Structure 1
């Protein structure tokens, strides 16, 4: 998943970048709102971390310009004034964190905002994660708007993983959820279905992560 950091303090920007990359995010840094705005015309970030006090155009002005793009925004600023927080939220920001901040808190806030956005995308039986779109009522999954042609069991596995994004499921849990407790097969069944799912996902197959010794989870990571 792509996170854009707009921060003119280079050490802070690099620290944020390092911590996000440790969590498998792809990160692009911009030191001014103007340069970021130009890039946003082409980039499709999943989240923006936006400083308020920037040279030239400030964070509030940039947020007002990009509001219609519906990109999640977390303001990061040294300002702790309640009026600034209210202004940021009024302009459509999803969260607000004040410097200095704990890196763990930043990561938790980023993940919390992304979870909320993903939950909002679960509308009318539709789950959207990056280029993947699952249409539950049609029993169909699209990748870049092209049908993957999944079998019923492949669909159920992917639905479970998408609905519980980043949650790890053991092979036994997947067997129980998808095939039921009275199924007499072994966990190799899961591995074969995961293999076929990855083949159908092609360049996107890396989103199904193997958690060694545990099982599988869905994580967009650096795929996009």
Structure 2
């Protein structure tokens, strides 16, 4: 899967240049020239990084950065070489790094690679053949993406964040459904676990990935990887 970059700049020449540089470097690229289009597009495109100009119509880049931070999307700010105040403010509101215009192509790619490598380590969990991409809300098993409902992904996400540790139905009830007490809660957990197994297990009756440690709870693992 290619890493995705969202380019946000109202200068079409800059957008075209960045698109050329980034696609040649192997990235998938989307773009917009308006600040008020960034957050909706980021929710749809799920970029690994946003390259963001400060001076934008709709919303300024400085207004957009906090919206992207809320989406756990890293931001690389583009700024004019003579606007140190913009750079400082952009970093203060949550941008990861900056590049001044005009930029060196090689330096830009190195900065992009560094940011994506760092953030992916934090947001991708690998458990044997299981890959959970928390920011993109994606589950892959043996390289194949599995389509999940939002609730199913929240279950997988919580189990992945507590990998190799059994999680009780009561804990899942609290963390996934935000419920302290719920009469039908335990049954709802069982139903969702059963549905998940049908989607992810080669043989749901003999789970390989989503196993139950009786008396302790559910465990996300890869039993074929355990020695």
TM-score, normalized by length of structure 2? 0.55
Instruction: Give yes or no for the alignment of 1:104 onto 2:112.
Output: no
Match of 2:130 in 1: 141
The 5 Å alignment of 1:184-223 reads: none
Match of 2:28 in 1: 26
Look up the SS of the partner of 1:42 in the other structure.
helix
Question: What are the Cα deviations for residues 148-182 of structure 1, in whole angstroms up to 9, with x where unaligned?
Answer: 49xxxxxxxxxxxxxxxxxxxxxxxxxxxxxxxxx
Instruction: Give yes or no for the alignment of 1:55 onto 2:57.
Output: yes
Structure with larger Rg: 2
Residues 17 and 147 (structure 1), Cα distance of their counterparts in 2 relative to 1, 3 Å cut: closer
2-side partners of 1:146 and 1:48: how far apart? 24
User: Alignment RMSD, CA only?
Assistant: 2.2
The 5 Å alignment of 1:1-224 reads: 1-121=3-123, 128=124, 133-135=125-127, 139-142=128-131, 144-145=138-139, 147-148=141-142
Question: What are the Cα deviations for residues 78-106 of structure 1, in whole angstroms up to 9, with x where unaligned?
Answer: 15333322211111101011101111111
Question: What are the Cα deviations for residues 127-152 of structure 1, in whole angstroms up to 9, with x where unaligned?
Answer: x2xxxx412xxx45246435449xxx
Contact 2:55 / 2:61 at 8 angstroms: preserved in 1? yes
2-side partners of 1:147 and 1:120: how far apart? 19
Q: What is the number of equivalent residue pairs in this alignment? A: 137
TM-score, normalized by length of structure 1? 0.56
Gaps of at least 5 residues in structure 1 are: 122-127, 150-224
Gaps of at least 5 residues in structure 2 are: 133-137, 144-227
2-side partners of 1:19 and 1:115: how far apart? 19
